[in-house]
Chains A and B, each alone.
Chain A
Amino acid sequence: MGVIIEGFVEASRLILTLDPEIVAITWLSLKVSVSAVVLGFILAMPIALALSFYNFPGKQFLVNIVNTLMGLPPVVVGLFVYLILSASGPLGFMQLLYSPAAMIIAQLIIVIPIIAAISYNSISSLDSRLKETAVSLGANNLQAMWLLIMEARKGIVTSIIAGFGAAISEVGAIFIVGGNIRFHTRALTTAIMLETRRGQFELAIALGIILLAMAFAVNIILTRYQARGIPR
């Protein structure tokens, strides 16, 4: 119990004094995960819309695949991205391994199926007459799509929250492709792993508290959109 209390004390101290290394680590975590979620959202929405808007053979199979990929083990994604980006791998010439860009790529792969699957679910569970009515009232396809997105925005924001949660708490993949390099690719989760390994439990707990606080703040911002709605 003592360690946990000391962890809280240490966390307050690190936050209040704005310890430069901790600020850098927190900023990197935020930068990587937000980038992955923003890019993931841009890539996942077309998938979710295509699945809910069009009927084509093999659609159910595709939906099953997207749902399954939600459970992709991050560490496997990390290994896969490592082998692709390694100097001996197919994209080795890009020299992206052990960089924040590699961490974003790994998290992107984890985040896309989560956002696509949850968004698809919330769009496809809308009343099917909604689209038909809109079209019969003279809306074109694009306008109808926009209407569906607005109607399903609660679920879509939930998908972003879930995606961000998976990204910010992820450790296995970014450790393999980022290398946990100090001042360069060390994120909150990999720092927690390192400090646990080093037996610096107070510092590890403190970092965990900072991680939670940050995730909480991001969630509050996102949930505001969910409740109030986005201005049309």
Chain B
Amino acid sequence: MKRTTLFVTVFSLLVVLGGIYAVMTPEEKILRLATTTSTYDSGLLDYIIPVFEEKYNIEVQIISVGTGQAITNGERGDVDVIMVHSPEAELKFIDKRYGIDRYCVMYNDFVIVGPAEDPAGIKGMNIKDAMGVISDQEAIFVSRGDDSGTHKKELKLWKASGMMPAGSWYLESGDGMGMTLQLASEKGAYTLTDRATFTFRKKTLDLEILVDGDIGLLNPYGIIAVNPDMHPSVDYESATDFIDWFKEPLTQQLIAQYRVDGEQLFTPLNGECIGG
């Protein structure tokens, strides 16, 4: 009987390992990019990445998460390159030696959206006053609450307006921008969003832009390679190809060309960093 048990155990293990090996099909060159939901969900990457894949014969695998998780993926060496939007977190990532070769790719801007009736009356205000009024009137505000680039920006804006967001009016969705907008729309609430995701999603939302155009609302995106000295397993060569490709005028032009419903979503930065 013992022999049978041993046989069954060994056989099962072999089958499991064989099964895992069978699906581990060998592939051509692959670049892993962790990026934020705003670049992926807005369709920009689906628009521009095939051009890179064609030219360099490298398959780009995109993992679309929040800035916080994208940076953690980079720190753990699970991806080769990251594209995120939080200048401070990007510089910290580089200071800790996890990232190198940062390039400032493009920007769009953040906007405050809310119901058309605008119960707190913030339409047209500057961002500092608008945040103050929302907090004073305890108008419902939905926060990402997920350590994403947008969440970090929101916390900075509260701080700049001298407010501490807390109370039953302040909801944390803990979800991506799309779901957070959906939640704000259902609740008739205000929220901070990047313009790209809002433009892409607005058809299904009862929200409109109430505050925008403030210099404090710029939203720059940076691309950073994972340092091969920290994680020898990353494909630094392909990451460098990828970053170099973003520096090409043609790529920058492609970014400016991307439109949703006739609206431009991102503006190329040509390497000029803003906000750090």
Point out residues on A near B: beta carbons under 8 Å: 31, 35, 38-39, 42-43, 46, 50, 86-89, 92-93, 95-101, 104-105, 108, 141-142, 179-182, 184, 194, 196-199, 201
- B96 contacts the other chain (Cβ, under 8 Å)? no
What is the CA–CA distance of A198 and B197 in the complex, to the nearest angstrom?
A: 8
Report whether A184 and B61 are in contact in the complex, using a CB–CB cutoff of 8 Å: yes
Report whether A46 and B24 are in contact in the complex, using a CB–CB cutoff of 8 Å: no
Report whether B61 and A197 are in contact in the complex, using a CB–CB cutoff of 8 Å: no
Q: Separation in Å of the A58 CB from the closest CB of chain B?
A: 18
Total A-B residue pairs with C-beta atoms closer than 8 Å? Answer: 87
- B215 contacts the other chain (Cβ, under 8 Å)? no
> Which residues of A are found within 8 Å of B77, using beta-carbon distances?
86-88, 92
Checking B15, B32, B37, B204 against A199 with a beta-carbon cut-off of 8 angstroms, the contacting residue is B204
> Which residues of B are found within 8 Å of A199, using beta-carbon distances?
178, 182, 200-201, 203-205
Report whether B41 and A100 are in contact in the complex, using a CB–CB cutoff of 8 Å: no
B contact residues, total (Cβ < 8 Å): 36
Point out residues on B near A: beta carbons under 8 Å: 1, 4-5, 8-9, 11-12, 15-16, 19-20, 23-24, 32, 37, 41, 46, 61-64, 76-78, 176, 178-179, 182, 200-201, 203-205, 231, 233-234
With CB as the reference atom, state the residue of chain A lying closest to B61: A181
Report whether B24 and A96 are in contact in the complex, using a CB–CB cutoff of 8 Å: yes
Report whether B32 and A43 are in contact in the complex, using a CB–CB cutoff of 8 Å: no
What is the CA–CA distance of A114 and B215 in the complex, to the nearest angstrom?
A: 56
What is the CA–CA distance of A204 and B189 in the complex, to the nearest angstrom?
A: 25
With CB as the reference atom, state the residue of chain A lying closest to B4: A142
> Which residues of A are found within 8 Å of B76, using beta-carbon distances?
86-89
Give the one of A35, A89, A197, A201 with max B CB within 10 A. Answer: A197
Q: What are 8 pairs between A and B in contact, CB < 8 Å?
A: A31-B23, A42-B16, A46-B5, A88-B78, A98-B32, A104-B23, A194-B64, A196-B179
**A86-B76, A181-B61, A184-B61 known; 4 other A-B pairs, CB under 8 Å?**
A96-B24, A98-B63, A104-B19, A194-B41
Report whether B61 and A198 are in contact in the complex, using a CB–CB cutoff of 8 Å: no
> Which residues of B are found within 8 Å of A182, using beta-carbon distances?
46, 62
Checking A95, A96, A100, A105 against B233 with a beta-carbon cut-off of 8 angstroms, the contacting residue is A95
